[in-house]
Chains A and B, each alone.
Chain A
Amino acid sequence: MNAMNFVYGFLVLVAVFIFQTTLTGINRKVTARLQKRYGARWYQQFLDIFKAMRKDSTSHGWVFDFGVIMALGGIMATVIFIPVAGFEAFPGLDNVFVISYLLAVGMLGMAMSAAGSGNPWASIGVARALTNMLAYDIPLMIVIFTMIFAFDSASVGELAAMQQGMGVLGWNAVRMPLGGIVAVIALLGMLGKKPFDSFIAPAEIASGPMVEYGGKHLGFMFILHEFMTFIEVSLILNLFFGGGATIWEYMLKYAVLYTFTTIISGVMPRFKIDQAVKYFYRVPLAMAVVQGLVVIFTGLGVKIWF
């Protein structure tokens, strides 16, 4: 590990920000077309972020300010460890556990900051966000642990590389179809897409954790959201859809997967938080357990196409 790794890390952050923000803008247009509107400009998300960074902002004490920086720092650190098409800024550190624990730093920073604002809507939003996390994480983690057990590796990059070279049949989502479905449903929950967006519901709890953010704080939260989206989609893409052999393949697959979640989100109503938890513990959890039992006791899916 030398100075070049840090330069690569910085370049990864810049590239991810530009790519994901552009994609978010395009996805706003996709949502608009679903609703038979013309929609915003493709670079609207950049304008929104820079506008927010330009405004003054109100502080609610140092916990509020520090939480934002802690969340952004934690999330940016996580982005650097995500393997993209075989490239890693810091080789050998792309473990599933490293990523999930670093991601928690960002999540908790956000929760601390939002709760530090003292607004009751923010507390309700944080409580719902953490409940939602508990709901989608258990089915997803069962599937991921099954995968780690079956392939004897916890490295995201290695697990992605194992699926390549066999076309679609090599993807874990095809080898373990139930696990793939669980992963995509969990992705909807992670991204806060409908029907699992009760924690940011603007009409009911005034956008939940975001309620007291304005100006520069809000700008940081938007940047954080772009990075977080990248981490979550990349994790599912690498583990279940084979990552990408080249950077172009990776970006194309990424765009398709992310746009797919947007389209699902565009036609869905919203679950209440208790309905979301019940749903996750009923359908995806059952599917995840069945998938785990099949893989562990029959080996089906691990060596069937070898």
Chain B
Amino acid sequence: MVLDEKDNRSPWEKIGDYFSANSVWMKWYCTGCGAIEMPPTMTSRFDMERLGMGPMATPRQADVLLITGYLSTKTLRRVIYSYEQMNSPRYVVGFGSCTVNGGIYYDSYATINRLDMYLPVDLYIAGCMPRPEAIMNGFAKLIDMIKKGEARGWRHYQENYEWYKKNQLDSLGEVIIKDEFHE
């Protein structure tokens, strides 16, 4: 995310980053398109477990939030909830053109255009759709970034929380909560 910082990690953090890089557990947020590219990546043709990657059941257990395809403003709220539930160090990977600039839904009233306005994206995998080769390639790059300490999106999110929060609220608009217990 932020490439101009120097590598000032302690030796313990370097060891920790070695473990993080070699054991990447993902939470797939596949409410847009693109979920269909994951099964071939996981099964015998491309076999992502070779790199230590694997799907996990809940955001609490996961290291990487993989967001595939377009995000509607309604699902954005759930994505943010999921991201906030994850334990740091945590990484976000945007998958497909729609997370980069809106893709073919760039003028839709119901989708967001740029994911990194709302969450700190460490890596984009461009394409519509990216094939499993591209996914494997992208994750090899992510593993390399974690190893070198360049994937610092979660820290950037902590430091610039005000900015992200403002963008999130702007996009979500007015929140009307119907509280039927206190009426």
Contact = CB atoms under 8 A, between A and B. Distances in A.
Contacts of A270: none
A51 B87 contact: no
Contact of A37 (B43, B52, B55, B59): B43
A39 B47 contact: yes
Contacts of A218: 60-61
Contacts of B59: 214
B57 interface: yes
Interface string A28-51: 100010011111110010011011
Question: Which of A32, A44, A51: most chain B CB closer than 10 A?
Answer: A51
B87 A37 contact: no
Interface string A203-219: 10011001111110010
Interface in B1-59: 16, 19-20, 22-23, 25, 43-44, 47, 49-50, 52, 55-59
Majority secondary structure of chain A interface residues (helix, strand, loop or mixed): loop
A56 B61 CA distance: 11
Contacts, number: 81
Contacts of B61: 207, 210, 213-214, 218
A44 B53 CA distance: 10
A44 B58 contact: no
B44 A37 contact: yes
B43 A40 contact: no
Nearest to A54: B16
A265 B57 CA distance: 20
A207 B23 CA distance: 19
Interface residues of A, number: 30
B155 to A, nearest CB: 12
A57 interface: yes
B88 interface: yes
Contacts of A207: 56-58, 61
A38 B45 CA distance: 10
B49 A40 contact: yes
Sorted from nearest, which 10 A-B pairs have the closest CB atoms? A214-B60, A207-B57, A51-B19, A51-B23, A215-B87, A202-B57, A54-B16, A36-B44, A37-B47, A206-B57
Given A47-B19, A211-B60, 18 more contacts: A36-B44, A37-B44, A37-B47, A39-B49, A39-B50, A41-B52, A44-B23, A44-B49, A48-B25, A51-B22, A55-B63, A55-B89, A56-B87, A56-B88, A202-B56, A210-B57, A213-B61, A214-B61
8 contacts: A41-B52, A51-B19, A55-B63, A58-B85, A207-B57, A210-B61, A211-B60, A213-B61
